[in-house]
Structure 1
Amino acid sequence: MSMLTPPGMGGKYRITGDAYPRMRRPRNRRKIVGAAIAAVTALTLAGWGTVQLIDVFAGDEKKPGANTRTAAGCEAVPVVSAVPPAPKPAQITVNVYNATPRGGLAKAAADELRKRGFVIGKVGNAPVAYDKKVPGTGVLLGAPKAYGGSFRVLATQLRGSQLKTDARETADIDLILGTAFTTLDTKRDADAALASLAKPTPRPSCKT
């Protein structure tokens, strides 16, 4: 009997040789343990990845002082446009010319503009270059610097008028009445338009 044979056991239970038999775990149990470890690892990695994505998309909002931006990439901070103050009607000299075949329109328009505070210069028929050649309500003609203020003020009296410049160096403006002209805008509408010039509307700014 071998020394490895337990006492009282023999026959087919007899152990021969000088080494213990190798005991192995069932293979099914090893597979189950391995699958469980793999599942835990996968869940851990998935959760970590989700946290990272959240940090990426929400990181800017969490930072102190981060700017809120619109879909167009502009800061949603209203900034008043730097527009110079508009001149008063009393600071603008207007020459009124009639480019229509109807008589008396230039004088009637000039008288109304005078009542509204404008300084009236020349009044009469339009120059040959414009006589019966203005299809709209009218044309405002002046020096390029008139775009900075005088044009904006006089345009409140006649909506739809065209703006043009010439080579003059004086500050006066020509109002040339076109064939579609009937009368100036009502004083109520003109006053409302003038008031809006003094209150620029804030607009979003974009930083590049």
Structure 2
Amino acid sequence: MSMLTPPGMGGEYRITGDKYPRMRRTRKRRRIVLALVASVAALGLVGWGTLQLIDVFSADEPGRTVAANKPDCKPGPAVTPKLLKPGQITVNVFNATPRSGLAKEVAAELKKRGFAVGKVDNANREFDKKVEGTGILLGSKGSAEGAFPVLGAQLAGAERQIDTRKKATEIDLILGKSFKDLTKKQDADKALAEAAKPVPAPKPKGC
């Protein structure tokens, strides 16, 4: 009888040989561990995906801001207006009122203030006797920033209009029925000084 056979057992229960049978528990353990690791990883991915979906669908909720899309709200550098000097601006003076000689008077005063004077005449049919206010500044789109504020300081309340001309340094001043006189020079100079001050840059959208 083999040493592997328990005492009192024989026959068909007899164990022969001198080696223990191999046990294959190691492979089963590895499979279980791998299965657990895969399950944990899958649950982690599902959780991460759920959080991403929540962020996407709640980004538009009132009071909620997505950090990645938050604009930089730091104030930018101030913008200094690029105003022209009076000598760089040519003013054509037109009289749309019944007052005789008004265009010449205004043109002479503007020349004293340093402006270049172009045409001096009565207004054409489009404007003659049809301007109810103090006057109209008529120029190109490029005149809006550099020239209009300078000439506009000389005549408070003048309406500003854009036409198709290309020259940004030439403006028509059409005197209206409510015109009495140009703004006093000292007041016009103060208005120009204010217009020349740097303007804070606009805040980015969303700030």
Same fold (TM over 0.5): yes
Aligned residues of 2:80 and 2:197 also touching (Cα < 8 A): no
Three-state SS of the structure 1 residue aligned to 2:150 is helix
1:158 aligns to 2:155 (yes or no)? yes
2:177 is matched with which residue?
179
Give the aligned residue type for 2:102.
L
Identify which of 120, 124, 134 aligns with 1:123.
120
Q: What is the aligned length?
A: 136
Deviation, structure 1 residue 203: 6.3
C-alpha RMSD of the superposition: 2.3
Q: How does 1:60-99 map to 2 (within 5 A)?
A: 77=75, 79-80=77-78, 82-99=79-96
Indicate the residue corresponding to 2:140 in structure 1: 143
Task: Give the unaligned 5+ runs of structure 2.
Answer: 1-71
Q: Which residue of 1 aligns with 2:190?
A: 192
SS in structure 2 of the partner of residue 174 of structure 1 = strand
Decide whether the 8 Å contact of 1:76 with 1:204 is kept in 2: no
Normalised to the residue count of structure 1, the TM-score between the two structures is: 0.60
The 2-side partners of 1:110 and 1:118 are apart by 9
SS for the counterpart of 1:205 is coil
Poorly superposed stretches of 4+, deviation over 2 Å: 74-79, 200-208
**Preserved CA contact (<8 Å) 1:140 1:174:** yes
- Percent identity over the alignment is 52
Which SS does the other structure have where 2:97 is aligned? coil
Distance in 1 between the 2:117 and 2:135 partners?
17
Counterpart residue identity of residue 145, structure 2:
G
> Equivalents in 2 of 1:84, 1:111: separation in Å?
28
Gapped runs of 5+ residues in structure 1?
Answer: 1-73
Go from structure 1 to structure 2 and tell me whether the alpha carbon gap of 1:130 and 1:203 turns closer, same or farther (over 3 Å shift). same
State the distance in 2 between where 1:108 and 1:183 align: 10
